[in-house]
Structure 1
Amino acid sequence: MTAELTVGERIAWYRQRRGFSQEVLAGFVGRTADWLGKVENGRIELDRVSVLRHIARALDVTLGDLLSEPSLMEWTPDSGQETVPALRAVLMDYRQVSGLGQKPINDEPVALDVLREDLDDVWSAYQESRFGYVTNRLVGLIPTMKDAASLYDGDDRRVASGRLALTYQVAASVLTKLGEADLAWGASDRGIREAQASQNPVIVGSLLRSVAHSLLSTGAFAEASNLVQDTADYLEPHLKRGGSSLVSVYGTALLVGAMAAARNEDRSGSRDFLDEADRAARRLGGDHNRLWTAFGPTNVSIHRVSTAMELGDVQIAVDLGPDLDTSAVPTERRVRHSLEVARALSTTNKRELALAAILDAERIAPEQVRYHYLSRHLVQMWVRTQKGKPSHQLAGLAQRLNVA
C-alpha cells in the first residue's frame, strides 16, 4: 500500500494511522515538529538507519515498513517462477521442527563432494549478485542437504551438517538482501543448530555472524553488537592455531559488529570493532575469500565508509569512498560500496555523481541495485525533489527500480 511513497511520506502515513500529531511523534524521538515536517515533505534527506529505527519504534512498526521492504522479486530466466514464497515454504516446513512425517527424498545421500560443489555454486552466485538464481536454487538444495545430514553418520554426518549450515547461511544472506528480515532470521536460526552439530568452530563462527547480521537487519542493533562480541570471544582461543578461514570468519564478524555499533550510535564500539578487524586483515596479509567472507583490508575499508555514513560522518565517507579500489572483492561487496558512495555524494548535493555511481552499479549487478533500499530511496527522492522534468537517465532508472 505504501510502496510508491518516499520514506518521509511513509512516516507521515503511519503517523496519521496512529493518530499522532507531528509534535507528538517528534517528541518521542527527541526532535522538533519542524524537523519532522521537513522529513515528511522530503526537504531533509533521512536515510540513517539509527534514526529510522527510533521512528519505527515510536510508531510500533518494523524498519521494513518504513523502508518499503521486502521487495517483490522479479521473474527472470535465472529465478524462474519459484522464488521467495517457495523458499519460505521450505524454511517453514513444520516437519523440520516437529520431525513428524519427515522422510528422506532419496534412499542414499548425495555424495559429500557434490554437496560441496553445490554449496560453492550458490555462494558464488550470491557474491555475483544473482539473487534470483540463488533463491530458486535453494528451494531444491536445502532438502537435499537435509537428507544428507540425516542419512550420513559419524564424521560424514558432521561434514554434511556443516554444509547444510552454510546453505542456511546463504539463504539468510540473500533473504536479507531482499528485505525478508524475519525469514532470514529463521534461516540463521536453522543454520546455527546445524553448525553446532558440525562441531567445527569455523562453521559455528560463520553462523553466529549470520545470526548477528539477521539481528542487525531487524533493528536489534545492541543485541547484534553483543552477539558479535560473544562470537569474537568464542573464536579467540582458536585463533592461535586457526588457519586463514578462521581468521576471515573472525574478521568478518567484527565488521558486522562495527555496523551494529554504528547504527546503535556507539561510536567508540564501532571504532574498536573496526580496529580489531583491521588487525585480523593485516594478519591475513591481503584480500581473500575464504569461506565466502570476502575478508581483507579492502572490506575493512568498505566498512569504514559505511560506518561513517551511519554515524553521520559524511565528509569522512566522501573523502574515503570514491577513491577506494574495490576490484579485489566480489561483485556484491563492490556494488554495496557503490551504493554507500552514492548516498554520501547525494548527501553533499553531488547528485549527478551519485546517479552515475548507481548507474555504474546497476550495469554490474542489476538485481542488487533493484532490491536494495538505498538505491530505491535515493532515486525516489531525486525524482520527487527534482526541479523540472527528471533526466532521461534518472527517469529510466526510476522505472527499472519500480519507484517512478
Structure 2
Amino acid sequence: MRGMGNSLTIGERVAWYRRRRGLSQEVLAGLIGRTADWLGKVENNRIELDRLSVIKSLADVLDVSLGDLLGEPTVLDWTAESGTATVPALRAALMSYHAITPLPGRHDTDPPTTAALRQEVGELWTAYQNSRFGYVTGRLPELLRRAQAAADGHGGEDQDHARRLIGLTYQLAATQLTKLGETDLAWLAADRGLAAVRPTGDPVATGSLFRSVGHALHSTGRYTEAVRLTKDAAAFLQPHLAQPTPALLSVYGTLFLSGAMAAARANDPGTTRAFLAEADTAATRLGEDANHLWTAFGPTNVAIHRVATAAELGDLQVAIDLGPRVDTTALPMERRVRHALEVARAYSSWNRVDAAQAVLFDAERMAPEQVHHHFLSRQLALTWIRRQRGKPSTQLVGLARRLKVLD
C-alpha cells in the first residue's frame, strides 16, 4: 500500500489521496456526480463506503488503483502451514523464464505421472476451498514446477492431461492471488493458464480458465471488460452445450455468476438480472449443488450471488431479506464465509450492527485467513470502531487487531 498503513478506513484513504491530489471535497464530489456533503460523510465514516462501483469511480478520479483505496495487497501471515516463503516465492515461480522459454535443462527430476499430478492439484484446490490460504500459497510454487515438468516431459494424451492440470494450477494461483490483493500477479497467472490449455482444444478446461481471467479483471476494477468477457466466453462455450457434461454446465454457470457480479459493480442491473437468470438455468439443468472442477456451482451458489449482486447495486432490502435465509452448510468453506461477509455487510448498512458483528465473528472462527484478507472485514471493523461512542468492546478491538487494522 503506497503512502500509508492499514489502519485507515476506505473513506479516510479517499481523504488522504484527495488532499494529496490537491482537490477540495466539492471538486472531487462533483467529478463523480455526488455532493460535498456526501463526500464529507464518507471521509468521516458516517457513510459506509463498501460498494465497489463507487470506490472504483473515486479511484479513477484520484488516479490511483482500486487496491490503493481498499488497502491491498495485504501481507500473508506466517503460519505453521504457510512457512516463511509465501507470496514472494510464488511471484518468483510465476516470473521464472523456464515457463516461457524452450531452453534445455529446465527440470532436474523425472516428470510426475499425470495421475499423481491430478491428485496434487485436487488436494490443493480442496485446501483453497477450505480457506487454507497460507497452505495453498506456500505450496503453489512447487506444484507449478512439477506441473510444468509434466507438460514438458510427456507426449500425446498424457501431455494434454498435463496441460489441463497446469492450467488448473495457474487458475488456482490466480484465484488465490486475487484473495490476497496481488492483482498484477493474478493477471499473469490467468494468462499463463489460458496459454497452457489452449493447445488441448478442451472447452471445459478453457472455460474454467476464463473464470480466472474474470477474477483478475474484477480485482483491478475492470468491470465492463469482465461483462464483455462473460459474453464472449459464453459464445465460445455455446456450441458445446447441446449435450453438456456436468463439469461444462458448472463452468458455464459459474462464468455467468462472475459476470453478474461484474455487471452489478458496473451499475448495470439489467445485465445483472440476465446473467443471474442464465446461471439459474444452468443450475436447474445441473439439478443439484455440486463441485465439478471446484466451482461449488448449483442453486445455492446462484442464491448467494443474488444476495451479493443486490448488495453491490445498493438494494439492501433484497440482501437483508434473502441473505440470512440462504443455507450454505453444504458448500465449501470459502463460499460459506464469502456469503457471511455479504450478510454482515447488509446488516451493518441496515444499522443492525450487533447482528453484523455476530456474523463476522462466526465467519472468523470458521475461516480466519479468509476473513483477515478481505476488504469488507477490514472496512466493517474499522467503521464500527470509528463510530463507537465510548470505548469499543474487547471483542471488537481484538478482531481489529487480528485484522491488522489496529495496533
Is TM > 0.5 for Structure 1 vs Structure 2?
A: yes
Q: Aligned equivalents of 1:360 and 1:38: distance in 2?
A: 30
* TM norm structure 1: 0.98
The worse-fitting range, judged by mean Cα deviation, of 255-264 and 25-34 is 25-34
Partner AA of 1:247 in structure 2: L
C-alpha contact (below 8 Å) 2:14/2:43 kept by paired residues: yes
Matched, 1:217 2:211: no
C-alpha contact (below 8 Å) 1:288/1:296 kept by paired residues: yes
Q: Aligned equivalents of 2:334 and 2:233: distance in 1?
A: 24
Please report how far the alpha carbon of residue 212 of structure 1 lies from its aligned counterpart in structure 2 after TM superposition. 1.3
Other-structure match for 1:383: 385
Other-structure match for 1:330: 332
Matches within 5 A, 1:17-166: 17-100=20-103, 103-106=106-109, 108-166=110-168
Please report how far the alpha carbon of residue 192 of structure 1 lies from its aligned counterpart in structure 2 after TM superposition. 0.5
C-alpha contact (below 8 Å) 2:10/2:69 kept by paired residues: yes
Matches within 5 A, 1:340-359: 340-359=342-361
Any gaps of 5 or more consecutive residues in structure 1? Answer: none
SS state of the match for residue 325, structure 1? coil
* TM norm structure 2: 0.97
Please report how far the alpha carbon of residue 100 of structure 1 lies from its aligned counterpart in structure 2 after TM superposition. 4.6
Please report how far the alpha carbon of residue 21 of structure 1 lies from its aligned counterpart in structure 2 after TM superposition. 1.1
Q: Aligned equivalents of 1:231 and 1:136: distance in 2?
A: 31
Please report how far the alpha carbon of residue 392 of structure 1 lies from its aligned counterpart in structure 2 after TM superposition. 1.7
Q: Aligned equivalents of 1:182 and 1:305: distance in 2?
A: 28
C-alpha contact (below 8 Å) 1:95/1:101 kept by paired residues: no
C-alpha contact (below 8 Å) 1:345/1:353 kept by paired residues: yes
Show CA shifts across 1:356-404 (max 9, x none): 0011101110000011110111001101111111112111111111112
Q: Aligned equivalents of 1:277 and 1:389: distance in 2?
A: 46
Please report how far the alpha carbon of residue 197 of structure 1 lies from its aligned counterpart in structure 2 after TM superposition. 2.1
Please report how far the alpha carbon of residue 96 of structure 1 lies from its aligned counterpart in structure 2 after TM superposition. 2.5
Other-structure match for 1:320: 322
Other-structure match for 1:305: 307
Q: Aligned equivalents of 2:390 and 2:72: distance in 1?
A: 29
Partner AA of 2:138 in structure 1: N
Partner AA of 2:269 in structure 1: R
C-alpha contact (below 8 Å) 1:15/1:21 kept by paired residues: yes
Other-structure match for 1:175: 177
Larger RCO of the pair (alpha carbons < 8 Å, separation 6+)? 2
Matched, 1:360 2:362: yes
Please report how far the alpha carbon of residue 3 of structure 1 lies from its aligned counterpart in structure 2 after TM superposition. 1.6
Q: Aligned equivalents of 1:28 and 1:183: distance in 2?
A: 31
Show CA shifts across 1:105-152 (max 9, x none): 32x210111000000011000000000000011011101100110111
SS state of the match for residue 336, structure 1? helix
Q: Aligned equivalents of 1:143 and 1:94: distance in 2?
A: 12
Matches within 5 A, 1:273-288: 273-288=275-290
Partner AA of 2:18 in structure 1: R
Q: Aligned equivalents of 2:85 and 2:27: distance in 1?
A: 44
Runs of 4+ in 1 over 2 A off after TM superposition: 94-102
Aligned residues: 403
Q: Aligned equivalents of 1:217 and 1:128: distance in 2?
A: 21
C-alpha contact (below 8 Å) 1:306/1:340 kept by paired residues: yes
Partner AA of 1:80 in structure 2: G
Q: Aligned equivalents of 1:102 and 1:189: distance in 2?
A: 24
Other-structure match for 1:371: 373
C-alpha contact (below 8 Å) 1:131/1:367 kept by paired residues: yes
C-alpha contact (below 8 Å) 2:98/2:106 kept by paired residues: no
Other-structure match for 1:5: 8
The worse-fitting range, judged by mean Cα deviation, of 3-12 and 159-168 is 3-12
Please report how far the alpha carbon of residue 98 of structure 1 lies from its aligned counterpart in structure 2 after TM superposition. 4.0
SS state of the match for residue 143, structure 1? helix
RMSD after superposition? 1.0
Q: Aligned equivalents of 2:9 and 2:206: distance in 1?
A: 39
Please report how far the alpha carbon of residue 92 of structure 1 lies from its aligned counterpart in structure 2 after TM superposition. 1.2
Please report how far the alpha carbon of residue 182 of structure 1 lies from its aligned counterpart in structure 2 after TM superposition. 1.3
Q: Aligned equivalents of 1:158 and 1:318: distance in 2?
A: 46
SS state of the match for residue 375, structure 1? helix
Show CA shifts across 1:225-274 (max 9, x none): 10011111111111112210000000000000000000000100000000
SS state of the match for residue 72, structure 1? coil
C-alpha contact (below 8 Å) 1:105/1:147 kept by paired residues: no
C-alpha contact (below 8 Å) 1:169/1:191 kept by paired residues: yes
C-alpha contact (below 8 Å) 2:99/2:148 kept by paired residues: no
Partner AA of 2:179 in structure 1: K
Other-structure match for 1:250: 252
Q: Aligned equivalents of 1:203 and 1:168: distance in 2?
A: 12
Any gaps of 5 or more consecutive residues in structure 2? Answer: none
Q: Aligned equivalents of 2:250 and 2:114: distance in 1?
A: 24
The worse-fitting range, judged by mean Cα deviation, of 300-309 and 33-42 is 33-42
Show CA shifts across 1:204-227 (max 9, x none): 000012101210111000000100
C-alpha contact (below 8 Å) 1:209/1:231 kept by paired residues: no
